[in-house]
Structure 1
Amino acid sequence: MADRRSSSTGTTAVIRVLSGLIVLGGYEFALFGAPVTPERIGASLGGAYLGAALPVMMWSLIVLMLGRRFGVEAKLISWGLGPALHTSLSSSRILMVRRIPVPVLRTRVAVQPAGTTKARLVALVLITLTVQGLTGWGLLFAPGPFGVAAGIVCLGTALVRLGGFRSIPSAAAGGRSVGSRNRGGDQGLQVLAALQRSVTEARRLIEDCSDPEWRDSAEGRKAELPVLLGEGRYREAVRVAESVAKAPGVSAVERAGAQQTLARALAYAMEATSAEPCDRERFLELCREMRDAPAQVTSGSDLRSLYYLVTGDAELAVDEARAAARVGSAPLRRSMAYCTLAVALMRAGRSEQAQKALRLARSQGPDNARIAFVAGVLSSVSAVVGD
C-alpha cells in the first residue's frame, strides 16, 4: 500500500513537471522567429494560461454534464485559485469559491456508489480528449503568438493529463470500479453537511447508518472526527484521529488532515480539562510537523492560534485566529476559529471584543460544545473583574 501511494505521488509530480514544460515550451515557441516585444510576450503568456486552464475546465464541465451517464460524479467543485473564500457542503458534494477570481473550474471526481466499468471510463475520456483536441486545434488558428501558445499548451496538457482520467479512482481488475469506498464517502458527506446545521443531527446520521462496517472504516472515522469536536469529546477525537492517520490506504492529504485535527483536539482538551503528562510536548511536536501541510488542510484552521495560546503569546494568537476566522471555510471550522479568537482576546485583556467574537461563533454554525465552554469562561472572568 505504501508503495502504491509513493508511486501515485511520483506520477503526480511527473505530470506537474511535464505540464510546466508544456506551458513553457508553448510560450517560447510562440515567441520564436519574430521580434520579442512586450505585446508579443503578453499575448504568449495569456495564450499559455488559457491553453493550460481550458482542458481542466472542459473536463470539469463534461463530468458535471455527462459524468452520471458514465458512472462518475463530481464530489468537489472549485472555482478560482488560492485559499477558500466560501465553502458550502451539501449531502452530495462540496462547493468552493477561492479567493483569486481567475476562471479556473476544477472538480474532484469519484465513482458512483453503483460503480462503473473500464469501458465506460474509456468512453468518457475519449469524449473529453476529442473536445479538448478540437479546441486546441482551433486555437492554433487564432492570430499571433496568443493562438500558437494557447493551441500548443491546450493539446499538450490534454494529452499529459489524458483528458482528466487521473482524477478518477483506479478501476478494479475485474472491470468494475470499487463502489464501497464511494458509498462510504457519500455517507460521510451527508454527516458533514448535517454537522454544519446541527451536531445532534450529524450524530444521529452516524448512529442510524445502515452499514455496520462503515462506522469502523476509515471513511466512517473521518466523518465522525468533526462530530466529536462539535460534541466536546476531545480525548475521543484524539484517539480517532490517530487511527485515521495510521489507516492503510489513506492519502497524504487525508493523513495531514487527521494530524491537524488531532493537534486541534489535543489543544481543546488541554483547554477544557486537566492536561495529561506530555500533552503540551506532543501538541508542539504536531505543530512542527504541520508546518509544511498543504493549504487545503490548513485553510481556515485555528491551529496556529492555538499554538500561540499554548506558548503564551496572546497577541499573536489573536492575529492568527482572526485570520483563520476570515477564511470562508465550512461553518463549524469557522465557528471554532471564532471561539479561539474569543479565548485569545480574553487572555489579551479585551473582554468586550471577546464577547463579540463569541457572538460571531454562535452565528456561524451549529451550537457546538466549545461555544458553551468559552461562554462559561468569559462569564467567570467578567464576574471576577466585576468583583
Structure 2
Amino acid sequence: MPALTFELIKKDPGSAARLGSLTTTHGRIETPIFMPVGTQATVKAMTPEELVEVGSQIILANTYHLYLRPGHELIGRLGGLHRFMHWNGPILTDSGGFQVFSLGELRKISEEGVKFRSHIDGSTHFISPEVSIAIQEALGSDIAMVFDECPPYPAEYSYVKTSLELTTRWARRCKEAHRREDQALFGIVQGGMHPELRRESALQLQEIGFDGYALGGLSVGEEKGLMHEMMQACSGILPEDRPRYIMGIGAPEDLIEGIHAGFDMFDCVMPTRNARNGALFTGTGRINIKSAVFAEDTGPIDPECGCYVCRNYSRAYLRHLYRSQEILASRLNTWHNLHFYLKLMEEARGAIAQGRFVEFRREFYAKRGLTPLV
C-alpha cells in the first residue's frame, strides 16, 4: 500500500475548485480540508476527542518545535507522535523551514543547511534537509514536508531566484534521504511573488517527484490581492492527480480563494490564536468578545452556528470568562472557532459536490459585505 493515495472526485464547473479524497496510513481525509495546528503536539486548549467532535480530520505538528522540546528521538522511543499525543488520525509535520526563517538574525543559511540559535535557551543547532527528514521520520507523521527556504517579502528578484534554486536542491536531498514507506513526502513551491519563478519551482519539483505539492512563502507580509493572485497563478501548474496544499494561510476569505483556485489543504494558527485573544468568527465576520456591547447579550456567538458553545453559552458569559482570564474562555472560544472553520470546509465540499461553488463563494462574500479581490 502506498503511503498516500489521492482521488479527484469532482471538479466544479464554474471554477478550479475540486472535491477529493486523500487516504493516509492513519485514515481518509475529505478535501478541501483545514488542518488545525498542533505546533507542540497539542492543538491549544483542545483534547483529541474534542478535535474529532468539531470535525477535525487531520492536524499539523511542527518539526522545529518538537525537535527542540521534548526531542524527536524521545517521541520516537515513546511510540511516535500519534501515541505520544493520543491522536489516531492523520498528522502532517511542517519541515521547520518557516520557523527557522522567522528566527531572523538568530539563523545563518548555507548550502548544507541552517545553523540557528534556539529561541528557548539560545543553544546552537543545525538542521539540514537530511536532519529535517530524520526528525519527521522519528515523529512518524503521515505526511512530511521537504526542508525549504522561505524568502521574505519584499525581496529582490535575484535573491528569490537564488532561494528557489536552493529550495529545489534541498528538496532533492530530502527525497533521497526519505526512507519511511508509510510516510508521504510533499514538495514546497517557492518563488516569492513572481509567477514565472513559481512556475519554474513547480516544474523542478515535479521532475523530482513527490506525493503532493504545497505552496509556501505566502502570508509573509504581502497584500491580500497579491496573495490571491499567486494562488491563481500556481494552481494550473501543479499536477491534477496530486493533493495541493497552501501553507500557513488562515483568514476565511483566503481559504475560500484557495479552494476557488483549486487547492485542497490549508493550515493556520489563526482560529486558535484569535480565540485566545477574544476574536471569534461568525458567518457575517469577526466579533471581539471582550467588547462592552456584549456585556448583557444573551445570544450565542453566531445564531447560525450549531456548535457546542453556541448551543450552550451566551456572548455575555463568554465575555465574562475572557475578562476574568478564566482558562475556560480559551477552551470555549477555540472550540467555536475550529468548528466554524471546519464547518466552512464541509459547506464548501457540499457546494462543489452540487456544482455550485461559484454561487457559494458569492454568498460567502455577500454575507460579510465584501467582494473578492481577484
More helix by share: 1
* TM-score normalised per structure 2: 0.29
TM-score, structure 1 length as denominator?
0.28
More relative contact order, 1 or 2 (CA 8 Å, 6+ apart)? 2
Higher strand share: 2
